């Protein structure tokens, strides 16, 4: 009898190989679409590492993406800027973690949103560094294949990091924090330390993706770099897959990527309204995500047949 774990790993390896070879047998449009979907996967999984695991809902993660974009645009160096962007995001997350992670619930969420808005406004008002509303044009280098493979690496990296965190001492700690933070503190869990760690790790992933995104689009403006829709995309991916679920988040992010593209292509004027309605329906009828919702449906069908 085959080991179930080995079968799953084998199937995943085949799936990754198929995706990696996508540029060899399909059009540029499909490759570009797949790259953006893998970006969704990375951002969703990174948001899940912090908000999904700890239960602290961040409304300000797009600030780290924007930092990554602008570090890349200012330094004009893809790989050096990735290191600087990651460091800048880590420092910003560390600074933010001090005052905000002591807040709870809506107070924490709104404080992160306020910080993101403040940084966005600041980027518009320091033209000597960011060129303000004029934006920054990067060298005209369009490397779709490079962006595709970088996003594939980041998607796999984010999944791997999520698995490592969840199955480590940190994962146990943040799980306890999500369940009952006061109880976790009473048994010696340093909640601030573990929350700050997952926030910093999540911020680094967002900034690193932002760094390469800037080179992909070759033009950076504050309205794009700090666009809140990117955060909404990540959050919806997690909600569709199941908050705290690693595999569910991957499925949710991919499903949302396809849904977003289909609705935008067919209903460009109202697609955001349609997406909003679908999200409400998912939260209402599958609050644990599509994966668990599907499992429950299959179980009910089997029970009904029995």
In this predicted model, what pLDDT tens digit does every residue of 248-262 receive, in sequence order? 899 889 988 888 888
Q: Is the pLDDT of residue 2 over 70?
A: no
Q: Which two tokens stand for residue 24?
A: 């060899």
- The reported pLDDT for the residue numbered 1 is 44
Give how far the C-alpha of residue 142 lies from the chain's centroid of Cα atoms, to the nearest Å: 24
Q: How far apart are CA 220 and CA 211, in angstroms?
A: 11
Per this entry, what is the length of the chain? 306
Q: How far apart are CA 229 and CA 208, in angstroms?
A: 18
- The reported pLDDT for the residue numbered 26 is 85
Percentage of the chain modeled with pLDDT above 90: 42
Taking all residues of the chain, what is their mean pLDDT, rounded to a whole number? 86
Percentages (nearest 5) of helix, strand, coil residues in the chain: 80, 0, 15
Q: Is the pLDDT of residue 306 over 70?
A: no
The residue among 48 and 76 whose pLDDT is bigger is 48
Confidence of residue 72 (pLDDT cuts 50, 70, 90): confident
Which of 43-52, 135-144, 225-234, 297-306 tops mean pLDDT?
Answer: 43-52
The residue among 296 and 113 whose pLDDT is bigger is 113
Decide: 217 and 235 in contact? Cβ < 8 Å: no
Q: How far apart are CA 305 and CA 27, in angstroms?
A: 44
Rounded mean pLDDT of 213-239? 89
Query: pTM, whole model, 2 decimals?
Result: 0.89
Strand, helix or coil for residue 219: strand
> What sections of 55-190 are H helices per DSSP?
62-75, 78-100, 105-124, 127-130, 144-166, 169-186
Q: Is the pLDDT of residue 300 over 60?
A: yes
Decide: 166 and 246 in contact? Cβ < 8 Å: yes
The residue among 161 and 277 whose pLDDT is bigger is 161
Decide: 210 and 196 in contact? Cβ < 8 Å: no
Q: How far apart are CA 220 and CA 272, in angstroms?
A: 23
Rounded mean pLDDT of 28-49? 94
- The reported pLDDT for the residue numbered 84 is 92
Confidence of residue 271 (pLDDT cuts 50, 70, 90): confident
């Amino acid at each position: 009898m085959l080991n179930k774990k080995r079968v799953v790993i084998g199937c995943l390896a085949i799936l990754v190989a198929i995706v990696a070879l996508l540029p060899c047998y399909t059009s540029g449009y499909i490759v570009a679409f797949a790259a953006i979907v893998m970006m969704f996967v990375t951002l969703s999984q990174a948001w899940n590492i912090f908000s999904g695991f700890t239960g602290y809902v961040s409304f300000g993660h797009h600030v780290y993406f924007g930092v990554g974009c602008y570090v890349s645009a200012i330094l004009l160096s893809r790989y050096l800027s990735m290191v600087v962007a990651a460091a800048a995001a880590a420092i910003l997350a560390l600074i933010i973690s001090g005052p905000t992670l002591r807040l709870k619930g809506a107070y924490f969420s709104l404080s992160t949103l306020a910080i993101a808005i403040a940084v966005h406004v600041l980027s518009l008002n320091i033209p000597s560094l960011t060129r303000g509303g004029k934006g920054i044009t990067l060298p005209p280098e369009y490397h779709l294949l490079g962006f595709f493979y970088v996003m594939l690496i980041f998607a796999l990296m984010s999944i791997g990091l999520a698995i490592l965190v969840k199955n480590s001492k940190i994962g146990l700690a943040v799980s306890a924090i999500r369940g009952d933070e006061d109880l976790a503190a009473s048994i010696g869990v340093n909640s601030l330390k573990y929350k700050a760690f997952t926030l910093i790790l999540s911020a680094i992933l967002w900034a690193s993706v932002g760094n390469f995104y800037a080179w992909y689009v070759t033009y950076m403006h504050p309205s794009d770099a700090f666009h809140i829709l990117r955060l909404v995309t990540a959050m919806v991916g997690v909600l569709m897959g199941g908050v705290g679920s690693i595999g569910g988040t991957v499925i949710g992010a991919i499903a949302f990527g396809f849904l977003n593209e289909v609705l935008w292509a067919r209903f460009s004027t109202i697609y955001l309204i349609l997406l909003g309605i679908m999200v409400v329906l998912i939260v209402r009828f599958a609050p644990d995500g599509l994966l668990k919702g599907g499992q429950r449906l299959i179980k009910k069908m089997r029970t009904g047949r029995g």
